[in-house]
Amino acid sequence: MRIFFYSVPLLLLTACSGSPQSEIHGEPLACAVDGATDFTKVCKVERTLVDGVLTLTVYQPDGGFRRFYVLDDGTGISAADGAGIATTQVVGDSIEVTIDEDRYLFPAKIENHAPAS
């Protein structure tokens, strides 16, 4: 009887400690979360259309997530919810999005709209 009594809490802890990241279907995404300095491909991103707007949901390894809208005017990405303001900058062939202490590198096709000479 003691074995069963002590096993139940252990089973409950095991059931709650599953990795949410392993259940996420999405593409790997380079990120630096919680103030990390180096980007690693430990995040995942899912792309969906929400009311006709391309929405990117980024899942972090700790189980947290952020949602972003892709702006149809070509200016980048904005935060979809939450209190943080997303800032963006072009880094090579990617867009680096920073919000609070988290940074994400989204692959992007950068077009030059300069007039032809």
Where along the chain do its domains lie?
20-107
User: Are 78 and 69 in contact, with CB atoms under 8 Å apart?
Assistant: yes
**pTM of the predicted model as reported, rounded to 2 decimal places:** 0.72
Q: Is the pLDDT of residue 39 over 90?
A: yes
d(CA 25, CA 32): 20
What are residue 54's phi and psi, to 5 degrees?
-65, 120
d(CA 59, CA 80): 14
The tens digit of pLDDT for each residue in 56-92 reads 999 999 999 999 999 888 778 889 987 788 999 999 9
